[in-house]
Amino acid sequence: MSMAAGEYVSVQSQADTERADIMRETTELETQPELERAELVAIYRNRGLDEDLAVRVADRLMAHDALGAHVRDELGITETLRARPAQAAIASAMSFALGAALPIAVALASGSEAALYITASTLVALLGLGGLAAYAGGASIRKGALRVAFWGALALALTAGVGRLFGTAI
């Protein structure tokens, strides 16, 4: 729940920022349409269009859906990339619950050597998941696996250290 709540709050803040940016663009389109047109022209020029074509594209998009053009091309907000807080929270909750399943299962099955087996199985799982994520993204499997395992190992070590400091480590 903690991770899901944190994810929700973080992504909701992003959604709030997006809404505020869209409201600002709406106001600017109402009060300064020529400046907003010039912004679009500059954006399209920077993307490689010549002046005449950039002007024609900006004029056509401003006539069709000025706010949509500015939201997409100036702010970089698209429907597929918009912040979705509930979706992010659910994905986070599911990910953390599934991620906790392996260490919990190992803890239940391992008895007195639980800490060792949990640590080892978690690091193996992190290597595998890091490699899988890298593979899915077309990146280096080795780098992805090692990166996730390294940071996971560091988190495990820091958590164990804090536990020992406060006398709660097993």
Tokens standing for residue 143: 């780098």
Q: Is the pLDDT of residue 108 over 90?
A: no
pLDDT above 90 as % of the chain: 61
Contact 4, 93 (CB under 8 A): yes
Contact 34, 40 (CB under 8 A): no
- State the pLDDT confidence band at 169, using cuts at 50, 70 and 90: low
Tokens 């918009």 sit on residue: 82
Average pLDDT of span 62-78: 92
d(CA 167, CA 16): 42
Tokens 């500059």 sit on residue: 42
Q: What is the pLDDT of residue 81?
A: 79
SS (H, E, C) the chain: CHHHHHHHHHHHHHHHHHHHHHHHHHHHHHHCHHHHHHHHHHHHHHCCCCHHHHHHHHHHHHHHHHHHHHHHHCCCCCHHHCCCHHHHHHHHHHHHHHHHHHHHHHHHHHHHHHHHHHHHHHHHHHHHHHHHHHHHHCCCHHHHHHHHHHHHHHHHHHHHHHHHHCCCCC
d(CA 120, CA 25): 52
Mean pLDDT of the chain, nearest integer: 91
Q: CB neighbours of 65 closer than 8 A, spacing ≥ 6?
A: none
d(CA 136, CA 31): 46
Average pLDDT of span 64-89: 89
Task: Answer whether 0.85 is exceeded by the pTM.
Answer: no
> Which of 5-14, 50-59, 82-91 holds the top average pLDDT?
50-59
Q: What is the pLDDT of residue 30?
A: 95
Q: What is the pLDDT of residue 134?
A: 93
pLDDT above 70 as % of the chain: 99
Average pLDDT of span 127-150: 94
Half-sphere CA count of 152, side-chain side, radius 13 A: 20
Average pLDDT of span 86-99: 87
